[in-house]
Structure 1
Amino acid sequence: MSALGVRGRGAAGVGLTVERDAPVVQRLFNPITAIWLVLVGVFAFSALVVLGTYERDLRGGDDGGAHALSRSAVGYAGMAQFLRDAGQTVVISRNKLSKGHAEGLLIATPPLDGKLADVKALNFGGPVLLVLPKWNAFPDFLRRGWVGEGRPIDLTRLDKASLLGGYAPARRPGASPATLFARGDVFGDSLSFRTGPIDRLQVLQTKDLIPVLQDETGATVLGRDPKSNVYVLSDPDLLDNHGLKSVDNALAGARIVETLKAGDGPVLFDVSLDGFARERNVMRLLFDPPFLAVTLCLFLAACLAGFQAACRFGATRRAGRVFALGKEALADNTAALIRLTGREHRMGLRYAELTRNLAARATGVPRELTGDALTRFLDRMGAQRGAEDRLSELTAIIGGAANREQVLAAARRLFRWRLEMTRERQ
C-alpha cells in the first residue's frame, strides 16, 4: 500500500491518526491593553490627587448651610446678591485677612459651636457684624441645596460657654413685624425703621453689649461689644434668605450693613468659620505657581524614566554561568586579582608598548624599527598627521603613574592617540 493510500484511508476514518498543527500559544496580556491600563491608572491617580487638593475650592457651597454660599432658607446668598444689585462690592472671604485691613464690613455667620475668639481671629481691623444662629435646619436629601422644615434652636438647652448661650437670647411669640429704634450715635437717636414679619423674633438680654438697635419693647436686636469693634445681630432673619421674602426685611438688613460699613471698602462675607477655609498646605504648593513648574518637571522626568524602563535598549543580556569557564573567566579573574593587589598602575608601560605595536602595524612602519627608534618614528609621523600628543611623552606619563586614576587618564590619551594615527575616527 502506498503512502498516499494510507493517508487517504486514514483521512476517511479507517483508524489512522492524522497529524495536526501545533497548538498556538496565546499571550496572557496584549501589550497595547497593558499600556492603556497603565495610562488610565496614572491619569486616575493624578486626577484623584488634584481633586483631593482643591476639593474645598471646587465645592460650590450650596449645601444648605447658614453661610453666604448657601441658597437655602438659612443661607445668606440672597443678601449678598441684593447688596451687589444695590451697588455694593461684595466679597466671599475664605481666608483670614491680613492685619491692617480695616475698610468695609466683615459679616461673620459662625455655627452654633463657634466662639467669639474665632471671629476676632479673622484679623479684620474694621467693624465686624456677628450674626447669631437661630434655626435648626438639616439638608434635604431629595433636593440639593434645600433644607427641610427648620425649627428654632432650643434655648433651654444652650451651653452658656457657647456663642449663642453667652448672649442670653430670648424670642417673641408668633410672627409679627418689629419697629427698630436707634440707640447711640451709630444710627442716630432719632432714627427708627420697621421690619417685615419675623417668625419668633430673637432678641438679646445680656448686659455685656451696648445697645445699638432695640425693638419697641426695649430688647436689644443689635449690640456692640465694648471691648472690640464687633456688632452682634440677634436675629439672622434680617439677612438670611428666609427673611428676604419680605422687602422690608431686605431693606432693614441692607440699612444695617450700609450703616456699619467703614469707608469705601467691600462687604466681606466670611465662610471660613463654616468649613470653607482655603488653607495652604504642601499639596497646594505643588500645584500653585511658581512651584507648579517644578511639579511639571518632576512629572515629565518620571514619564521619561518610565519610558526608558519600558523600552529595551540593545540586545538582551544572556544569563551566564555561576562559575564562568574559559579564557574570558581567566581574564576576569586575573584582572580582579591585579585590582585586589593594587598593582594596576604597574601595567601602564605594557599597555603603552601594546598601543605602539598596534599603531605601527596599522600604519605600515618598517619592521626593522624597534624600541626607541620606533617611538621616534611614530612621533614624527604623528606630527605630520596632526596628533595632539606625542607617543614618547605619553609613555613617560603612563610609566610614572602612581595610582589607578593616573594610569587610566594616561591610557585614555594613549587610546585617543592610536585612533588619530590609524584614522579609525574617520
Structure 2
Amino acid sequence: MSTGIQRARGASPFSRGGFLAVLVVGFIAFLAMLYFIAAGDTGEPDSGGEAHAAADGINGYSGLARLLKANGYTVETSRSRAGLETTDLLILTPPAFTDPEEFAEILNNREYLGPTLVILPKWQAIKPRDDVIEADEERMQDDWVSLIDASAQDWTSELPPPFKLTHEIEKLEDDAATSWGGLELSGELPTRTISYAESGAGLEPLIVDAGGHALAVQVVGEEGSEYYENAHWVMFVAEPDLMNNYGLADPTRAAAALALVREAGYGDTDAITIDLTLNGYGGSVNLLTLAFQPPFLAATLCLILALLIVGWRAFLRFGPTAAPAQEIAFGKRRLVSNGAGLIVRARRMRLLGEPYIALIERKLAHALGLARADEETLDAAVSRRLPGEESFSSRAARLREAERPVDILRAAQALYELLHKTSGHSEREASR
C-alpha cells in the first residue's frame, strides 16, 4: 500500500513574510501577557473609592508615592505579603472594617523588623454619579471619585496595647478650627470634617489641630517597657487628609507628609515600602512571578530560547500544503502490487506454489496445443518441442519442495522460463 506524501498543486495561502509576521506578533503578545500577569498588572480597572497607593482618586495615595520618589526616596508598592517583612519603613493603608487581630499580628511582627507608618481610613467614596459626570464631562477621568461621608474606625479600639487607640470623626463649625500645627509646620485642613485619635498613655501627638485633637500620633508605649526601650515605634496618622491626594494639593500639607515620613523612619531611611495587600491586591506569589525571578529565571530564558529555535525551524520548513497520496491506486497493476505486498507482509509465500504450478500448467498446455494438461503429457510434449530442456514435472517438484522465499522465487522463475521458451518456439513455427 502506498503511504507516500505528494505536494498539492495549489500555492500556499500564506507568504513566507506573512507567516513570519504572524509568528513574531503572536510570540510578542504571549510574552507580554506572561509579563503583565506576573507583575500583577492585568488591566483590571480600579473598583473605585478605595484608598491605597495605586489609587489616583482624591482619597488615594498615588500622589504620596510620587512625592516620596521626587524627594529621593526609593519607593516600592508591594503586592506580596513578603513586603510586610521589610526592614525599611513600611507604610500601611488599611481599609475600613480591617480585622483587628490580623492587623495586630502584623504590627507585633514589625516590632523588631523596622519602623511602620499607618494611615487610617476616613472617607467613604464612590464613583461619581451620572449627573456629576455629565456636568463636568470634559474634565472627568476614570479614576475620579466622590466623597460621600466620613466614618470612624472602631476596630482601632480593639487593637492590643500599646497600639490601642480611639478613632473619632468630628464636623467643625468654624473654618478657623481646621488649622493644624506640629513638626515645626502649620497649615489648614482641606475640609471641616476632621479625623483624629484621642490621646492616651503611650501615644505621643505629633500634629494637632486648633482644638487640640491629635491628627498624627507616635506609639511609644509605657516608659520603661520592652516596647519603649527596644521596639521600632509605630506611627498612626489619624487624619489621612494630611497625606492623601486631597491633602497633597496644598504645599504645606505636602511638607507635613514628608515630615511625618522622616519622623516615622527616624530621619535616616531612604527606602520605603507601601503595602497594597491589605487593600486586596496580591497577597501571594503566583507561578508566573516565580518564573521571572531567580533562580527560575535561567530556566525560563532557556525555554524561551528553545521556543524561538523551534519557531525558526518551523518557519524554514514552511511551504506549499502537503496532501497524502491515494492510499489504494486504481488499475490491475496496482491491485496486483497491493496483493503481492500483502502476501509478503503476511509471510505466506509458500502457499503460492500450487496455484502458480496450476497456472503455468494451463498456459503451457495452451502454448503446446494440448487438450489434456497433466504432467506426463506436458513432459512428453516439451521433450519433443525442446530436446534437452529440464522437464515440467521436475521444475514443478522443485517449487513444491521450496521453503525459503529465495528458493520459491528461483523455482517459479524456472517454470516461467520454460513457458517463455515454449511460447517463443511456437511463434517461430507458426511464422514459417
Q: 1:243, 1:287 → 2: CA distance?
A: 38
Identical-residue share of aligned pairs (%) = 21
Q: How many residues align?
A: 305
The Cα shift of 1:39 comes to 6.5
Aligned match of 1:149 in 141, 146, 151? 146
**Within 5 A, what are the aligned runs for 1:248-263?**
248-262=252-266, 263=268
Structure 1 residues 239 and 155: alpha-carbon distance in aligned structure 2, compared to 1, 3 A threshold = closer
Aligned match of 1:203 in 191, 196, 211? 196
Aligned match of 1:110 in 84, 87, 94? 94
Q: Which residue of 2 aligns with 1:24?
A: none
Q: Deviations over 1:116-153 (max 9, x none)?
A: 53686597621111111111223457533542431233
Q: 1:293, 1:348 → 2: CA distance?
A: 56
The Cα shift of 1:170 comes to 1.5
Asked if the contact 2:53/2:60 (under 8 Å) is kept, the reply is: yes
Q: Which residue of 2 aligns with 1:177?
A: 178
Asked if the contact 1:225/1:232 (under 8 Å) is kept, the reply is: no
Q: Which residue of 2 aligns with 1:333?
A: 343
Structure 1 residues 282 and 192: alpha-carbon distance in aligned structure 2, compared to 1, 3 A threshold = closer
Q: 1:70, 1:64 → 2: CA distance?
A: 8
Asked if the contact 1:72/1:145 (under 8 Å) is kept, the reply is: no
Q: Structure 1 length normalisation: TM-score?
A: 0.54
Q: Which residue of 1 aligns with 2:75?
A: 90
Aligned match of 1:282 in 265, 283, 287? 287
Asked if the contact 1:76/1:240 (under 8 Å) is kept, the reply is: yes
* Structure 2: gaps spanning 5 or more residues: 1-8, 222-226, 350-402, 411-432
Q: 2:346, 2:157 → 1: CA distance?
A: 80
Asked if the contact 2:152/2:169 (under 8 Å) is kept, the reply is: no
Asked if the contact 2:180/2:188 (under 8 Å) is kept, the reply is: no
Asked if the contact 1:127/1:260 (under 8 Å) is kept, the reply is: yes
Q: 2:157, 2:319 → 1: CA distance?
A: 63
Aligned match of 2:64 in 72, 76, 79? 79
Q: 1:261, 1:297 → 2: CA distance?
A: 47
Q: 1:285, 1:167 → 2: CA distance?
A: 40
Q: Secondary structure at the match of 1:137?
A: strand
Q: Structure 2 length normalisation: TM-score?
A: 0.53
Structure 1 residues 60 and 83: alpha-carbon distance in aligned structure 2, compared to 1, 3 A threshold = farther
Q: Which residue of 2 aligns with 1:317?
A: 325
**Within 5 A, what are the aligned runs for 1:9-408?**
31-32=13-14, 40=22, 43=25, 47=29, 50-51=32-33, 54=36, 56-57=40-41, 65-97=50-82, 101-103=86-88, 105-115=89-99, 117=102, 121=106, 125-140=113-128, 143-144=140-141, 146-155=143-152, 168-174=166-172, 175=175, 176-179=177-180, 193-199=185-191, 200-205=193-198, 210-213=203-206, 215=208, 217=211, 219-221=213-215, 222-224=217-219, 229-262=233-266, 263-277=268-282, 280-284=285-289, 289-290=297-298, 291-298=300-307, 300-301=309-310, 304=313, 311=320, 316-320=324-328, 325-337=335-347
The Cα shift of 1:236 comes to 0.5
Q: Once structures 1 and 2 are overlaid, which stretch shifts more, 319-328 or 146-155?
A: 319-328
Q: 2:28, 2:201 → 1: CA distance?
A: 53
Asked if the contact 1:177/1:194 (under 8 Å) is kept, the reply is: no
The Cα shift of 1:261 comes to 0.3
Structure 1 residues 57 and 251: alpha-carbon distance in aligned structure 2, compared to 1, 3 A threshold = same
Structure 1 residues 295 and 281: alpha-carbon distance in aligned structure 2, compared to 1, 3 A threshold = farther
The Cα shift of 1:211 comes to 4.0
Q: 2:43, 2:283 → 1: CA distance?
A: 11
Structure 1 residues 251 and 60: alpha-carbon distance in aligned structure 2, compared to 1, 3 A threshold = farther
Root mean square deviation, CA, Å: 5.0
The Cα shift of 1:59 comes to 5.5
Structure 1 residues 286 and 95: alpha-carbon distance in aligned structure 2, compared to 1, 3 A threshold = closer
Greater C-alpha Rg: 2
Q: Which residue of 1 aligns with 2:353?
A: none
Q: Which structure carries more relative contact order (alpha carbon 8 Å, separation 6+)?
A: 2
Asked if the contact 1:135/1:152 (under 8 Å) is kept, the reply is: yes
Structure 1 residues 98 and 318: alpha-carbon distance in aligned structure 2, compared to 1, 3 A threshold = same
The Cα shift of 1:331 comes to 4.4
Q: Deviations over 1:330-353 (max 9, x none)?
A: 3442333379xxxxxxx99969xx
Q: Deviations over 1:384-414 (max 9, x none)?
A: xxxxxxxxxxxxxxxxxxxxxxxxxxxxxxx
* Structure 1: gaps spanning 5 or more residues: 1-26, 182-190, 340-346, 355-426
Asked if the contact 1:130/1:233 (under 8 Å) is kept, the reply is: yes
Q: Which amino acid aligns with 2:119?
A: V
